[in-house]
Structure 1
Amino acid sequence: MPFRFGGDAVHVYLTINTVFAWKFNGKPMFMFIATDDTDGNCVDPNDGRTHMPLRIADSIEALSDAAGGQAKEIDLLACGDLNSEDRPMTGCFWAPELHVIGGKLSVLFMPCFDGPRVNPDGTPNDRAGKPDMWTGSCHIMQLKQHSDGTDFDPREPENWTVPEPILDPDGETLNPIQRISLDMTVLCDSGRWYYAWQQVGSIWIASFDPARPARLTSKPKQIVVPEFAWDNMIAEGPNAIVHDGTIFLIYSGSLVGIDYTTGLVTAPAGQGADLTDASVWTKLDYPLQKSGMYNGRWQLGTGHGMWSHDEDGNLIYVFHNAEYEHGRYGGRDAQVRRVHWSKEGMPILDMQTAEELDPDYAGVTMEVGFFDAD
C-alpha cells in the first residue's frame, strides 16, 4: 500500500529518506530520517537553515505528516555544525541512512560546505562562500553508548558523535578529482563489510572494518555504470538486501526529475564472493520502477529507494517521487510501499493496491467450536 510522507504537491518537504526499525534498549521504535527538499532546493533550503531531521515513533504510520510526524522532528544536525575536521557543515545533509555498524546505531550522509573561491580546474566558483554541493563527501556519525553497552537516547543530538568524513585506506578523500561522494550505504556478506556509494556518476564499493567505520580497508572499485537509455547520465543511491541466497542492490538511474528510474544488480550471497569484483555482479537491463500510473494517479521520477521492514516484519520499499503542479517542479515526496516477489524471484515494486489481494480471498469465514473442559 502506498504511504505518503512529506508536504503537499508544491511545498514538498522531505526526500532521500530512510525508514528504520530499531530497538532502543529493548523498546521497539521506527525512525524516519531524510533530506530537506523544500521547493526542490536540497542544497541550501530555508535561507541558510539547512538541517537533518529525525522522526521517531511507535509505528510507521505515526511518522507521517498526516499523523503529526513533522511535530516529532528532532534536528540531529543544523547549518554551521562542525565535523571532526572543524569544518562548518553549511548545506545538503543528503541521503541520510540509518544502519547498525559495529553494534552502534549509525547515520551515513553527505554534508556540504561553503565553496572555495576557485574551483579545482582554476575557474571562478559561483558558490564561493555559499553551500556548494561539489564540496560534499560521505560522513558517518554514531549514537553513543553507556559503559554497559546500552544506548544513549537517539532523540538528543548531543548523544551522537561528531560526524567524520569516510576516507580511503591511505586517509585520502574518496573522490579527489571531482571531490563529491554521496549516497553511501552498507552491506555485509560472508562476514565482510562493505560500503557502496556514488561518485563520478557511478556506483563504487569498498570493504571496511565496522570497528573503524570512517576508514576503508580496500581501494574503491566501480561496480555499476549507467549504460542504457533508462539509466543514462548517472547511477546513484544504492541499497541492498539479501533474499533467497541473492544480494539485490537497487540503484537509481538518470538525473533526479521525471526521468528518474530504479535499476538492479545482483550477486550471490553467503558464498564468500568478493563483492569488490565487478564481475560477480549481474545487471538487469530494464528498470524495476519508473514513472507511471499508480492507483489511478501519476507518480513521476520514482527512485532513490531503500529496503526496510514494517511492524509485522514484511519487506517494504521506501522511495521518493517528483512532485509537479501546473508544470512547476516542487521537489520530492517520500513514499512507502510493500514489496512482493514474482515466481521468478524478482522484486515487484509497482504492484497496484487492488492487485495485492485476489478478490476471491477478500472474505474470511471461520467456525469456532466450544468444548466442555471436563
Structure 2
Amino acid sequence: MRTGFAQLPLHGGKAPAWLFRRMVRLARAVVCHVVDEHGPDEVLARLSDPYWFQALGCVLGFDWHSSGVTTTTCGAIKEGVKGLEQELGLYAAGGKGAASRRTPGEIEAACVRLARAPDALVQASRLAAKVDSAAVQDGYELYHHSFFFTRNGRWCVVQQGLNDGEGTARRYHWLGSRVESFVNEPHAAVCCDRRGEVLNLVAAESDGSRAAIAELARTPDRDVARVVERLPTLVLPGRHPVASADIDPRYLHKILVSTYERAPADFAALLAVPGVGAKTLRALALIAELIYGSPASTRDPARFSFAHGGKDGTPYAVDRETYDRTIAVLHDALGRAAVDAGEKRQALRRLAAFAPPGG
C-alpha cells in the first residue's frame, strides 16, 4: 500500500556540499543503527512512514518543509549505504530526474550480485510510479522516484511530483509488504490540505471502470473508433475530469493496436504496458463509460489519516503520544549512532526543537 502522502512547498536550489557531506554521514549512521537493532526491513517500514521520513530530514539538517527535503534525504541515504549494501542487506536505486529513469538498471545490477531475479522488483518500481502518475491524476507530475529494497525482496518507494501552477510538491510513500493490489485502494493514508475532483482509477468504486478499460484494450481498434467518432455529438457531464478534447483518435488508434496485440488480462496488466499513460487512461475511461456505462471515480484519495495533528487543532489536536514515540525512536537511533559527538549534539538539538511545546 501507499502508506502516506505529504504536500510541501516547491523550492529550487540544492544542498551545499559541506552540508550534504554531513547528511550522508549522519544518514549512514542512523540506517546502520536501525539495521543493527531491528534489521533492514525496519528501515523500509520507517522510510515508508511520511512523518518519520520528514523527521529524519529535519534531523539531517535540511530545510524542514520544502520539496527539497525529499530529494536530498533520499540522496543522502543512497550515498550513505553505498559500499555497505552486502553488509546491511539494504539497497537503494533511483533518485531525481534522470536518476529516476535509471532505477530498473540499478535494481538489475544489484540483483545480479544477489543472484536473484529482478523482475518482481522492477515491476513494483514501475507500477508504483504508474499509479501515482497516471492511475491517480491529481495534477502532480512525478520527477523523483527512489526505490529501496532488501536482499529478501522486500521494498519501499519514496517518490515526489510537482505542480508548477500551485508551486507545491506531493510526496508519495509505498511499503511493498502491505501491497495487496496496486490498482484497488492502494492508499492506506493520504493527506493534503486541499482536496479536489480528480480521475481516480484505483478507487474501489472504479472497479467497473477498470474492468471496462481492460476490455477495451482487448477490443479491435476499429470497433472502438466507431464510438470515438461519435464523441463530438455528446454532451459530457460536468463532474467528469475528462473531455472529448482529451482524445486524439490517431494516438488512441496506435495504443489500441498495441494493447490488442498484447491483450492485457486486467487493468493492472494494462497499466504496465509501455506507452499507456495519463492521456491514454483518461481517453479509455471516458470511452468505457460511453460503451459500458461504467464511470470512473472522481474522489480525491487525500484524507487526514496519517498526520499527528496540528497545534491549532487542524485537522485535530496534536497526538502527543504518537508524536513523542516518533521522536523517541529518532533519539534512540541518534543516541547510539557512531557519529562525531559534535554532530550528534547538533542533530539532537534540531530534534528537540522539533518537539511540540510542553511535550
TM-score of the aligned structures, taking structure 1 as reference length: 0.27
TM-score of the aligned structures, taking structure 2 as reference length: 0.28
Bigger strand fraction: 1
Query: Structure with the greater relative contact order (CA < 8 A, sep ≥ 6): 1 or 2?
Result: 2
Bigger helix fraction: 2
